[in-house]
Structure 1
Amino acid sequence: MLLTPSQRNSPESVPPLPGPHFQLNASKITRGHSCILCQQRKVKCDRQKPCSNCVKARVDCIPSVPTAPRRRRRKFSEQDTASRLKRCEQLLKKHGIRYDDDDDSPLESTSPGTVITEEEFSQRNLINPPPRAGDRGMLYSDKGTSHYIENTLWENLRDEIEDPKEALQLSSDDDEINESGMHPEPELFCLGHRNASKDLKTLHPRMVHIFRLWQVFLDNVQPLVKIFHAPTTQQLILQASADLDNVAKPTEALMFCIYLLAVTSLEEQDCQAMLGDSRDSLLSKFSHAAQQALINARFMKSLNMLTLQALILYALAVPKYYDPHSFYILTGMAVRIAQRLGIHKDGALHKISPFETEFRRRTWWQVVFLDGQSSKLAGAGFPAHLLQYDTKLPTNVSDSDLNPNMTEMPSEKEGVTEMLALQLRYEVATAMKSFTKGGNNNFWSTITNVELIVKKDMVIDELEAKFEEKYIRFCDPSIPLHLFAIYMSKAVICAMRHMAHHPRQYPDRGANMPAKEKDMLFTEALKEIELSTMGFRSKAIRGFMWHLHVQFQLNPFVHLLSELRHRVYGAQVDRAWEQIELAFDQRPEMLLDNKNSLYLAIGNLALKAWAKREGAGGLYRGSQLPAAPRFVSVLRSQRNNSTPVSTPSTTELRQPSNMKQMPQPSEVFDLVQTAYPNTVHDAIHGMQQIGGWNPNNYAIDMNMQDLVTEDWEYYQTLLDGELPTYYGNAAQQSPHSDMPGGQFP
């Protein structure tokens, strides 16, 4: 029965209690504390024994329990403090964090008020770098999958993740794609596919062809990429090809991307002889299959390293067929996926096995090079991800030195390993990073700072010496990869010198540059293009031509065209026009791709330069000016909307029309001997002795494009109008210049 408030307060509403019990509880009341009834009713207690409210209500007057006093913090003894400090030092040592005692660190014992110079500050940060703010992420890894989490929401929940596998099950490669949803899956949108899921078994080549393509990949692609362990991957492919009905989706994506890149590295006659089909047909087949396999593997949400590696191989195969902006987005996806997998964080700091750590490093640096190239071509700014990684450089060891069960990394090898080509790229990245004071946050821009030319030259000289000392002197030119590395190192040095002295770094954009430096730049640009065009006639490194084509240096090419508007005759000018014609023949997309604004601008500049040469025909040393090259006729017909002139065919791509006009081998090899006189001379002599010497076997990879930024504003000038013009005077002209002093038509 419910009681009203008046009934509850009425003495009749409370049954009487035995007197002894009441007296016993009353004796326990202590002054200073309210009873429980008064506290519950929130009324003032008179603190009597019993209180008047309890007497009126005829209930026991039970005293409340006083709050326990606050425990005073125990003071640690000196011994306790020393013990806790020792424990902290052990934890720091366990996780590889350096610490020094005050007596052993004079740099840290700076007294208050001491002024520290910038050099001392840099040295101090180099020896004991300050802790990185905000690096509180967690890396979850298990059996080839990983997930890096570093935002506040996940940090607050990480204690709730009892098993690391829970963090890896947020996305599964085997999830079914939603075909009936209102919006298509993002993978379908990005790759332009309508098939949300498709069985690809019938698109795999025959088993014998799978093995042939894998061998082609090992010969032509793997030496320049090296993002996975070849023996382990070979076993994976063998198992998958034997049971295509049950192949894992990430593995299948990797297989199709390997097929695609292998065919990309072959020529037409090789495809017909090896696979019985045309190159174009195979590229179309494997390109669509690779896209579909990536979609099947859910590459945009996958946490599997194989899926990311497949996407990287796909990106390496398709830059010719993507416009620069779309390709930039594609490589940007690779960056984001790599960051989600946490490979921008060094695995050694997160208890990842040495084997997996090594290939995480290789994969991350391939992503860095790939995104650097695409951002340059798309006109994007500095890649922001380069500010947020701590992944170390890969180790200079071969695949035979590594195995999945090893507990520690082998010692780094001296000299040449399977990583030769990539080690040259890493050396360039290290040199450019060390060039700046503030780390790597602005080295792409300061490499063209006019105030640092002397220091740039010193860095380039040191890099050139390091190439020779650490790698080139160990190279055997009878091995295609070693031969490739010799020319690659030469091209890198040429490219860096060209960038270090480029006229766009000057306030007047080079209008008043000394003639001697102007001539030096023209010569360096010509060397770069000569070395590049030689690669397309090479037989020894024919398998690496896919890389040469992608990495063509536009920067020196544009510089040559710009200068040829003012250099109208001379032996060096004739050589330059020969190389430009070869470059257009070998890269027909520069003529055929009318939707590429950069190629259109280059074509316009080429026409202006040739018009200047034609206008100065009377100055051509008394002889008749040669007929206009084929690329000039094609460009003019395109601009005039007239009947198009035939463009180079695939066969002509391999056999340039003006082969007889190429520089003599002795003249070309003077360029290489300038950089490495002993090594290259010995290499040539050795090839002659064994009867294998052929000047056409020597070529170069313009690999510097991955590492040196191209100033998009420089190309934008082509779209908007004329480049800055150099108007030197007779007193400034170099005695070796091919230009008439101050006389420009």
Structure 2
Amino acid sequence: MDSNAVELQNSYEISTTFELPCTICRRRKVRCSKTLPCNNCERAGAPCSYDDAKRTSRRPPRHAELSTRLARVESLVRSTSQHTKQSNSTTASERGSMDAALESDPTMESLVKRLEHKHRSQLTTPDPNSKRGKLAYVEGSSRSIQTRFWAGLYEEVPSIRGLNPAVYKILNLKYLLEEEQPSALNFLFPETIPTSLYEQTPISQVHSDLLVRSFIQNVDPFLRILHKPRLLLELNYVRRGILRDGDDFECQLHVIYALGTIPMTDDECIFQFGVEKSILMSNLKAAAERALSRLNITSSHKIRSLQTLLLYITLLFWTGNITQASGLLGLAVRFAQRVGIHKDGERFKLSPWRVEMRRRMWHHILLIDTWCMEHEGAESMILAESSDNTLPQNSNDASWDACEFALEGPTPSTQFTDMTGVLVQFELALVSRTILEGSLASGEIEASFQFQKELVSQARERLDAVYLRDLDVRQPSQKIIKDLTTLAYERLFFAIHQPLFKHGQGGELGTPELRSELFDRAIAYCETVQRLQDEYAPHHLDWIFVRAFFWDSVAIMLTTLTREHAHGSTAQGQRAYRRIERLFQYRQSIDYLAGNGNLWKPLLQLWEGLQALENDGSERHDVDVLGDLNGWPVDSVNLDFDIDSAFPFDVPMGSGGADLAMHSLE
């Protein structure tokens, strides 16, 4: 071996390989092992040499490994020396970069995170051992409710002096444990479902078209988990007998029929079907439950089956079966996780249309979860970090290509589309969830209040800029979005302020002026809901305002009139009394309000107690309120609130009566 080969071998103590054969093998045109020496040269005893520019090492030289280890040690020492200075908090530069990242993201979720980050120093981390919520308990049964749920906010009522304790002993929460009549969940036990009239005699195509049209025009604008063009195409296919999963579609169709019945009036049901609406709905729900029993919901992996289950849960909620809807939601959440709906479809290279439909379903699940938090006091079933799904797109259904091979979706619109209404619902649900899950620890009431007030204020600005500013209020389909959003803001106002009076924990924030303001606004809220029902009745959209019923508004009016009976002789008190009287007079005839008897019990007892006070010699002096039980009082009070109080409203005068209109924040 010559000196050149020896020098090369000494310069590489680790195993070395080369890209090209050695000089001799290349000249002889034989296979070379590309080592030093190569196998051929070693057997022949010939000097082995390579072109120095073509060698490569199987691993880096030893000094590179030592440099890496040294850098790692230096990094460890540096981080250890800075640990005390950082004290488990982010540095100013990190906070700045986080704020910048959140500022660049315009979504509502980012807005919530940004405000939480801003107020983090004042909002302490909740103690997991602290008492959270309330528990109604009797031997063998119990029920948990959230701290902010209205039913747990009135423990002070029994302490009112001079009132009959037998009448007002309602607040041990045991009434929450009363079982409702089983009117849902039957599809899990099909043998308990009565045979429906519409299974014995299949529904005619004329009636089918009528109910599907009612669903698409008057119900689907508040759902949007189905694709309208696809729905109508599949309806055509199933009638021709060429739809591949026709049985599953027909199961879904039964639920659509029941949903399509909700906007119809009693007279329409009698005219078209020959039966009252309640009987028609009962038959259609029974048919839907028997159809669901055939879908194998507990172990299915079919997306259509999940859609059908979500439609059915929504039907239960909108017909007043809130407890049953809440119970089924857990099944739907697990179903969605089983089929991966909670993960954004873009990660899995699905077609744009399929990604969109999966996003719609997941956000509808979040919406139902929020409804259960608001109306049942339940805790959320869904952890925020468990999903990475983004909001659905603001585009019309007709703009989507439902073909699974489509490579591109439509461009998101900045104008009103089919999706505008539900997107506003989805974003408001996130705000509501944040408030309902907020802490009520006595040490941070004011900080929490400021955070929530700022959250709603900025949410209003965002929704107005993105969705509401350019709506044409001359069109009922667009005006209704603004009206529903206004009512939602008012419910958020109650959710933030009413808990301040629980045991007086709001301190200086829970003033008599605020209590009076809540009373006035509760009256205005109920009156506005009634006016909007009348306004949208010709369009068959009044039903959605019945679903805007708010427990807190009724409870506030009842407790205020009971506490301060002198209110009953004022114009405001008369308006509240008449509104409550009308509610209890007609409640049983309205499907959404007729159920949930256990939640109505405390309100009913307060109402009976108020009537007892009225009959015990505290005579009400009738005030001339221009209107009757069926009318709309035109002398509504003008609620002129301080602009610095939380996102105020006023109730202006007008020929149509009071309305909730928002001040400008500027």
- In 2, Cα distance between equivalents of 1:340 and 1:419: 26
Which residue in 2 is equivalent to 1:522? 519
* TM-aligned CA distance change 1:470 to 1:195, over 3 Å: closer
The answer to whether the 8 Å contact 1:187/1:295 transfers is: no
- In 1, Cα distance between equivalents of 2:290 and 2:274: 24
- In 2, Cα distance between equivalents of 1:604 and 1:590: 20
* TM-aligned CA distance change 1:695 to 1:657, over 3 Å: closer
Which residue in 2 is equivalent to 1:663? 633
Moved more, 411-420 or 542-551: 542-551
Which residue in 2 is equivalent to 1:290? 288
- TM-score normalised to the size of structure 1? 0.58
**Matching of residues 390-401 of structure 1 within 5 Å:** 390-401=388-399
Deviation at 1:227, TM superposition (A): 0.4
For structure 2, the residue ranges without an aligned partner over 5 or more in a row are: 1-56, 66-78, 103-183, 661-666
Which residue in 1 is equivalent to 2:416? 416
- In 2, Cα distance between equivalents of 1:524 and 1:271: 36
Which residue in 1 is equivalent to 2:241? 243
Any idea what SS the aligned residue of 1:478 has? coil
Deviation at 1:459, TM superposition (A): 2.5
Which residue in 1 is equivalent to 2:454? 458
* TM-aligned CA distance change 1:306 to 1:443, over 3 Å: farther
1:606 equivalent to 2:607? Answer yes
Q: What amino acid maps onto 2:362 in structure 1?
A: W
1:474 equivalent to 2:458? Answer no
**Matching of residues 356-505 of structure 1 within 5 Å:** 356-405=354-403, 406-431=406-431, 442-443=437-438, 449-504=445-500
Q: What amino acid maps onto 1:606 in structure 2?
A: W
* TM-aligned CA distance change 1:218 to 1:323, over 3 Å: closer
Deviation at 1:477, TM superposition (A): 2.7
- In 2, Cα distance between equivalents of 1:232 and 1:365: 20
Deviation at 1:473, TM superposition (A): 3.2
RMSD after superposition: 4.4
**Matching of residues 132-171 of structure 1 within 5 Å:** none
1:560 equivalent to 2:557? Answer yes
- In 2, Cα distance between equivalents of 1:548 and 1:478: 19
Any idea what SS the aligned residue of 2:413 has? coil
Any idea what SS the aligned residue of 2:300 has? coil
Moved more, 504-513 or 412-421: 504-513
Q: What amino acid maps onto 2:456 in structure 1?
A: I
Aligned positions, number: 492
The answer to whether the 8 Å contact 2:367/2:426 transfers is: no
Give the percent of matched residue pairs that are identical in Structure 1 and Structure 2. Answer: 20
Cα deviation 1:615-659 (Å, max 9, x = unaligned): 5735x5xx4699xxxxxxxxxxxxxxxxxxxxxxxxxxxxx9722
* TM-aligned CA distance change 1:444 to 1:206, over 3 Å: farther
1:75 equivalent to 2:72? Answer no
Instruction: Tell me which of 542, 547, 560 is aligned to 1:545.
Output: 542
Any idea what SS the aligned residue of 1:193 has? helix
- In 2, Cα distance between equivalents of 1:663 and 1:349: 55
Instruction: Tell me which of 258, 261, 286 is aligned to 1:260.
Output: 258
- In 2, Cα distance between equivalents of 1:537 and 1:110: 69
**Matching of residues 16-95 of structure 1 within 5 Å:** 74-76=58-60
Q: What amino acid maps onto 2:477 in structure 1?
A: L
* TM-aligned CA distance change 1:582 to 1:373, over 3 Å: same
Cα deviation 1:216-273 (Å, max 9, x = unaligned): 1111111000001100111011111233998623211111111010012211122233
- In 2, Cα distance between equivalents of 1:243 and 1:671: 63
**Matching of residues 691-730 of structure 1 within 5 Å:** 695=656
* TM-aligned CA distance change 1:429 to 1:260, over 3 Å: closer
Larger Rg: 1
Deviation at 1:363, TM superposition (A): 0.8
- TM-score normalised to the size of structure 2? 0.64
Cα deviation 1:703-733 (Å, max 9, x = unaligned): xxxxxxxxxxxxxxxxxxxxxxxxxxxxxxx
Any idea what SS the aligned residue of 1:332 has? helix
For structure 1, the residue ranges without an aligned partner over 5 or more in a row are: 1-72, 82-108, 130-185, 627-655, 685-693, 701-745
- In 1, Cα distance between equivalents of 2:411 and 2:80: 38
Which residue in 1 is equivalent to 2:152? none
* TM-aligned CA distance change 1:212 to 1:590, over 3 Å: closer
1:309 equivalent to 2:307? Answer yes
- In 2, Cα distance between equivalents of 1:379 and 1:432: 13
| Bigger relative contact order (CA 8 A; separation at least 6) | 2
Cα deviation 1:488-547 (Å, max 9, x = unaligned): 121122111222222446662568732222222222222222222223323456523333
- In 2, Cα distance between equivalents of 1:188 and 1:207: 27
Q: What amino acid maps onto 1:600 in structure 2?
A: K
- In 2, Cα distance between equivalents of 1:121 and 1:369: 34
* TM-aligned CA distance change 1:410 to 1:246, over 3 Å: closer
- In 2, Cα distance between equivalents of 1:472 and 1:699: 18
Which residue in 1 is equivalent to 2:17? none
